[in-house]
Amino acid sequence: MKIALSTRPVIAGNAEGYILASKTALSFWGGVEPHSGMVVDVHHDLCGTSIAGRVLFIPTTRGSCSGSTILLEMVRANTAPAAIVTLCVEQILATGAILARALYRRTVPVFLASEEVFRQGSNALAASLSEDGTMWIEEQAE
């Protein structure tokens, strides 16, 4: 069953993909290997999983100033997530997405969700997002 939810587009774009969700903040620098898209932070529950092409649900990002360039490098290498759905947009994540749009004319769309929408989406199988912020989620098969 498909359900429509609403989010606020922060970095606008259309995207779809399988959902990958965590309740833990992620540092891109030191936390993600940009050329494989793998999470390598041993303290993170997504460690060993690739975020490439997924609709990534993370509450926020944290860590080094260089996190922005890791996301940019992932856009270049085609290993970036299809979209990021988050509870809080901080400077480093936004910077990466804005730089990618300026340099490569493509980016990782970023959507700000309420806690309820974040929770519902985190439990779903796949999502399709449009630039007005509408998110269609496909629920897990029973």
Partner 1 sequence: MNLTQYELDMLAGRSGEGAAMAMRVLCDLGELFGATRFLPILRAHIDGCAYTCVWDAGIEFVEKLSACGARVTVPATLNATSRDIRNWEAFRIPAEIAQKNQRLEAAYLQMGCIPLWSCAPYDAIQAPRFGQHIAWAESNAVNYANSVLGARTERYGDLVDVCCAVAGRVPECGLHIKKNRAGSVLFLLDGVTERDLADPMDFAALGYLIGKETGNHIPVIDGWNRPVAAASLKALSAASAASGSVALFHMVGATPEAATREEAFQGNAPARIVTVTPAVLDGVRDELTCAQEGAIDLVVLGCPHATYTDLQQVHGMLNGRRVHAGVEFWIQTNCLTETLARRSGVAQALESLGVKLLTDGCINNFPVTAWGFRTIATNSGKMAHYAPGNTGAKVAFLSTQSCVEAAVKGAWAK
Strand partners, 61: 26
- The CB-of-68 to partner 1 minimum distance in angstroms stands at 4
- Which span sits near partner 1 by CB under 8 A: 18-26, 50-58, 87-95, 133-141? 87-95
- The CB-of-31 to partner 1 minimum distance in angstroms stands at 10
Asked if 83 and 108 touch (Cβ cutoff 8 Å), the reply is yes
- Which span sits near partner 1 by CB under 8 A: 16-24, 45-53, 56-64, 124-132? 56-64
Using CB under 8 A as the binding rule, whether residue 83 contacts partner 1 is answered as no
| Helix (H) or strand (E) segment spanning residue 121 | helix 115-122
Q: In angstroms, rounded to a whole number, what is the distance separating the alpha carbons of residues 81 and 106? A: 12
Residues 95-114 binding partner 1 (CB under 8 A) are 95-96, 98-99, 101-103
- Identify whether 64 is a catalytic site residue: yes
Asked if 75 and 101 touch (Cβ cutoff 8 Å), the reply is no
Q: Alpha-carbon dihedral of residues 98, 30, 91, 45, nearest 10 degrees?
A: 100
Among 2, 18, 30, 48, indicate the residue that binds partner 1 (CB under 8 A).
Answer: 30
Q: How far apart are the first and last CA of the chain?
A: 11
- The CB-of-65 to partner 1 minimum distance in angstroms stands at 5
The residues annotated with a catalytic role in the active site are: 64
